[in-house]
Amino acid sequence: MGWGSGSDDAPAPAAPAPSEARVRLIGGGYAFTAYLLWGVLPLYFVALLPTGAWELVAWRIVLSLVFCVVLLAVTRAWRPLLAIIRQPRLLGWTALAGGLIYANWMVYVLATLSGHVVETSLGYFINPLVTVVLGVLVLRERLRVTQWLALGLAAIAVGVIVVGYGAFPWIALSLAFSFGIYGLIKKRIGTAVDAVSGLTLESAWLTPIALVQLAVVATTSGLTLFTAGPGHAVLLLLAGVVTATPLLFFAAGARRTPLTVMGMLQFVAPILQFAIGVWVFGEPMPVERWIGFALVWVALIVLTADSLAAARRGGRAGADVAEVA
- For 257-287, what is each residue's pLDDT tens digit? 776 677 788 899 999 999 999 999 999 998 8
Q: Hey, how many other C-beta atoms are within 10 angstroms of the C-beta on 71?
A: 17
pLDDT at 314: 65
Closest CA to 102 of 71, 58, 63: 58
Percent of the chain as helix, strand, coil, to the nearest 5: 80, 0, 20
* CB-CB contact of 192 with 90 (8 Å): yes
pLDDT at 12: 52
Closest CA to 211 of 100, 68, 98, 60: 60
Name the CA dihedral angle for 166, 170, 176, 179, rounded to a multiple of 10 degrees: -160
Across residues 81-103, what is the average pLDDT? 94
Give the list of residues 6+ apart from residue 151 with CB closer than 8 angstroms, or none.
129, 132, 133, 143, 299
* CB-CB contact of 28 with 265 (8 Å): yes
The confidence band for 315, taking pLDDT boundaries of 50, 70 and 90, is low
Q: How far is CA 163 from CA 154, 160, 291, in A?
A: 14, 5, 12
Round the average pLDDT of the chain to a whole number and report it: 87
- Which DSSP helix (H) or strand (E) runs through 28? helix 20-39
Residue 132 has pLDDT above 90, yes or no: no
CA 145 – CA 314 distance, rounded (Å): 17
Across residues 187-208, what is the average pLDDT? 89
Q: How far is CA 44 from CA 106, 107, 114, 214, 243, in A?
A: 15, 16, 14, 20, 11
Residue 21 has pLDDT above 80, yes or no: no
CA 261 – CA 205 distance, rounded (Å): 33
Q: Hey, how many other C-beta atoms are within 10 angstroms of the C-beta on 61?
A: 29
